[in-house]
Structures are given as C-alpha cells and as structure tokens.
C-alpha cells in the first residue's frame, strides 16, 4: 500500500520523506490555511521534496470555476493531482478535466456509488473518508472493501486512496480492506512507527547486555565508526 502524508507542513513532509516511507502528499484548503503562508509557496516547496503524487484541492463549488482552477493547478508541476469534491458540480468538472489528461483525486467519497461513477469518469484516485464514516456508525473499512471489489469487477484503473486516517488502527483496516494507498497525518505516522512494547523489549535486552564485562561488549563492535 502506498503511503501519502496528509499535511501542508514542509518540515513534516521533509522528515518523513527523508525516512523513505512516504510516496506522496495530500493537502486541502484547511491544511494550507493552518500554515499561515502563501499556498503557492508551499506547493513549490513540496514538489521539490517528494517525487510523487501531490494532491492539491480546488476551492470553488461551481463546475466551470473548478475546471479553471484544475487547469491552473495542473500547470504548476507534473506531479500535481487535482482534488475535486464529490458533489454534483465536482462530477461535472471531473468529466471535463480528465479528458484533458489532468490527474484527479476525487475526494470526500462516502458511498460506493460515488466511487463507481468517479472511476467510470476516469478519476486517478477516489478518497473515501474512513474516519468520518466511522463517527456516524457506518463502516469505513467495509466501504473500502466494496469499492475495491467493484473496481476489480470491472477492471477500473482508479485507485482507492483511504483518507481521514484518524489513528493507526484505521490505517491497518484500510490495508486489510485492500486500499491501494492511504493518506496519513504526521501524528498517526509517528504512532505507526513507535510502539511502547518495542521500547520495553529493547530496554530488557540492553539491561542484560550491560551485565557483560566491558571487554566482552567492546569486542563485538571494535573498529566501528559513525
């Protein structure tokens, strides 16, 4: 499963890109606004850090304006993927821009039927909001399974990009359900990496190691330099 980071914070993106675990980035207007910087400057920095899909969202709710914004975003860099919302105007805009070769992340998906129509129109990704669905007592993982099955049934090339990953359990569920990718906030990525049990196990091993005579410990790593 591809791992995207869901943030517009350049420092966080750099941190996890250097670690080698992210394949792309997703942003949205709220994440951009949080940074208190010009959005265009943020985008120009991100594309230099990550050589992979960079999702950037339109802000209009009118189809014609969405198309214009999508064309502009697409012109900024070859790795830009335009995010369009799953509303009627979004479907209308999707039908236009994919015919022009613009890559689209069709976002805010809450039903398998929305995903089916988006795939039929040629979206590159569909983004079901797993965490938000679970808040309303609807199974987010089940929705991913439904979408993956539908796409497999008909050979759609559209990929399922699981979104609204509110904790690391959601990421696991998305992977088990067959999502092609998940976009994950930095705090959740950190929780996936770090485990208290791993630290406890390591402490136990090192505690025993420290009981060895110094010459025994030193002999193992003689000559090792940083």
Distance from CA of residue 124 to its chain's centroid? 14
- The verdict on whether 83 is a catalytic residue reads yes
The C-alpha atoms of residue 137 and residue 150 are separated, in whole angstroms, by 23
- Lookup: tokens for 160: 């399922």
Which position among 48, 83, 120, 217 bears the catalytic label?
Answer: 83
Q: What distance, in Å, lies between the first and last C-alpha atoms of the chain?
A: 33
1 exposure class (CB count in 10 Å sphere: 0-12, 13-18, 19+): middle
The C-alpha atoms of residue 23 and residue 60 are separated, in whole angstroms, by 28
Known catalytic residues? 83
């Amino acid at each position: 499963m591809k791992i995207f980071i869901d943030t517009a914070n350049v420092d966080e993106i750099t941190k996890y890109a250097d670690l080698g675990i992210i394949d792309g980035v997703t942003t949205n207007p709220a994440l951009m606004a949080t940074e208190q910087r010009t959005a265009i400057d943020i985008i120009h920095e991100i594309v230099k850090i990550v050589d992979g899909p960079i999702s950037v969202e339109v802000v209009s709710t009118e189809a014609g304006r969405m198309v214009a914004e999508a064309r502009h975003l697409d012109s900024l860099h070859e790795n830009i993927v335009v995010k369009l919302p799953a509303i009627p105007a979004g479907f209308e805009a999707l039908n236009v821009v994919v015919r022009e070769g613009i890559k689209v992340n069709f976002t805010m998906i809450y039903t398998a039927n929305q995903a089916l129509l988006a795939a039929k129109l040629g979206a590159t990704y569909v983004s079901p909001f797993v965490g938000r669905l679970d808040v309303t007592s609807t199974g987010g993982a089940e929705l991913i399974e439904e979408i993956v099955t539908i796409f497999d049934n008909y050979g759609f090339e559209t990929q399922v990009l699981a979104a609204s990953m509110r904790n690391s359990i959601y990421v696991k569920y998305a992977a088990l359900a067959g999502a092609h990718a998940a976009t994950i906030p930095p705090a959740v990525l950190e929780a996936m990496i770090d485990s208290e049990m791993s630290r406890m196990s390591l402490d136990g091993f090192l505690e025993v190691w420290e009981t060895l005579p110094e010459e025994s410990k030193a002999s193992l790593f003689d000559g090792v330099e940083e």
